[in-house]
Chain A
Amino acid sequence: MQTTDISAAQQAMADESVKRLAMICWSNDLDKVWPTLILATTGAASGLEVDVFFTFWGLRVLQKNNKRFTGKNWMQKGESFVDRGGTDHLKLGKIHFAGMGTWMIRKLAKQYKVASPTELLEMALECGVRLHPCQMTMDLYGLSPEDFIDGLQPTLGAASFIDMAAKADITLFI
C-alpha cells in the first residue's frame, strides 16, 4: 500500500535525521568519568542517541556502590580491593593526594551544585543513554551481572563498538 510505503520512508528519514553519539569510558578516574557522564546526559537530553562503551578500568564505573569485593580468584579480588568500583568511590587520576584532592573536588562540587557522577549516571539511564559493559573486561576482572547497577545493555565486544562508532555522527574517547 502506498500509505504504508510513505510512512516507512518517513520513518527511515526520521531515523536518519537522529544524530548519534558513541563514547568510550575506559578509565574510572573521576576526572575522566565526570565529563563523560556530563556529555552523555547532555547528548541524550539534546535528542541524540547516545551509547557509552565501558571497558577496562571504566567498567568499574558501572559497579554497584555497595559491592566491596568482586572477582573469582585472589588476584581479581585483590584488584577490586585496591580499585574499588562504583561512582561514589571514583578517585582523581591526578592530584588525588591520598584522598585529599578527591575529597576537596567532591566537596566543592556539592557546594557549587555540580551533579555528582552517581546522580549523572542515574540521569543518563533516565535520559535513555545506553550503557554497554565490555565482555572481555568482565571476564578479566571476574565480574558477574549482579555486581552491576540495573538498566545496563547486554555486554559487547570491540567489533560491536567499532560498528556503533562507524554509524555514529560523533565519537568521543575520554
Chain B
Amino acid sequence: MAYPQDAAVQPPALRIDALGKKCPLPIIMLAQRIGEVPIGNVIEVLADDPATKTDVPAWCGLKSHEFVGAGELAPAPGWAFRIRRSY
C-alpha cells in the first residue's frame, strides 16, 4: 500500500467491496455510501476495474471530496482507493 502518511494512520471508517464490479457500479456504490461515514473520515473502495483508477479521482473532483490516494492490492489485481468525506 502506498498511501500518504496521514491516510495510513487513519484507518477507513467504511470499506466498500466493489471487486468484480464494472463501470459505473463502483462509483455508484461510493456515491450511495459516502454519507455513512462522518465528515472528515475516510471511506475505502476496493475495485479491480481499471477504469476506477481515473474514475474515482474524477468523481472526487466533481463532488469536492478529497482523494487521499490509492494502494495496489496484493496478490489479486486491484486497488484500494481512499476518499475523505469533505462535507
Contacts and interface: CB of A to CB of B under 8 A. Distances in A.
B21 A113 contact: yes
A41 interface: yes
A127 B25 contact: no
Please report whether the interface of chain B is mostly helix, strand, loop or mixed according to DSSP: helix
A42 B63 contact: no
Please report whether the interface of chain A is mostly helix, strand, loop or mixed according to DSSP: loop
Given A47-B62, A47-B63, A115 B25 contact: yes
B25 A46 contact: no
Interface residues of A, number: 15
Interface residues of B, number: 15
Contacts of B23: 38, 42, 114
A123 interface: yes
Interface of B: 20-25, 27-28, 30-32, 58-59, 62-63
B22 A123 contact: no
A127 B28 contact: yes
Contacts of A48: 62
